[in-house]
Amino acid sequence: MKKKVLTVDDSRTIRNMLLVTLNNAGFETVQAEDGVEGLEVLEESDPDVIVTDINMPRLDGFGFIEGVRRNDRYRAIPILVLTTESDPEKKNRAREAGATGWIVKPFDPTKLIAAIERVTA
């Protein structure tokens, strides 16, 4: 059975790159444009893993991660942060919010797939 990935990013370009990368690797992909939509899509999609950006309108990645973790149903879903940020303080904040891992953009498709497979194994 295909593993399902929810990607949350306000950049259409990044969403398209993720869609192609993940679908080519055999994942089912559902997408959202920001944290607010991400929480809505999460309810309907029940993903195996989430890949989220940090800097987004309406609800940023930190708020989104906290929103996911507040619900017991989603507490065990791995969350990978995919962002241009590399600030250790922001990494810590994401970890404290409940993120599983951190990947800096631009992403290497092979490394992204390896990270997703590692956290969903």
Using one digit for the tens of pLDDT, what is the confidence trace for 22-36? 999 999 999 999 999
Question: Among candidates 13, 54, 58, 17, which has minimal Cα distance to 40?
Answer: 58
> 10 pLDDT band (50/70/90 cuts)?
very high
Lateral strand order in the sheet of 4-8: 28-32, 4-8, 49-52, 79-83, 101-104
The mean pLDDT of 39-65, rounded to a whole number, is 96
> 41 pLDDT band (50/70/90 cuts)?
very high
> 121 pLDDT band (50/70/90 cuts)?
confident
For 54-89, how does the pLDDT look when each residue is reduced to its tens digit (9 = 90+)? 999 999 999 999 999 999 999 999 999 999 988 999
Secondary-structure percent of the chain, ordered helix, strand, coil, rounded to 5: 50, 20, 30
Given a contact cutoff of 8 angstroms between Cβ atoms, the answer to whether 69 and 75 are in contact is: yes
The mean pLDDT of 41-57, rounded to a whole number, is 95
Q: What is the pLDDT at residue 31?
A: 98
Q: What is the pLDDT at residue 108?
A: 94
Helices (DSSP H) in 1-121: which residue ranges?
Answer: 12-24, 35-45, 61-70, 88-97, 109-120
Is 112's pLDDT higher than 90?
yes
Q: What span, in angstroms and rounded, lies between the C-alpha atoms of 79 and 50?
A: 5
The fold adopted by the segment(s) 4-120 is Rossmann fold (3.40.50)
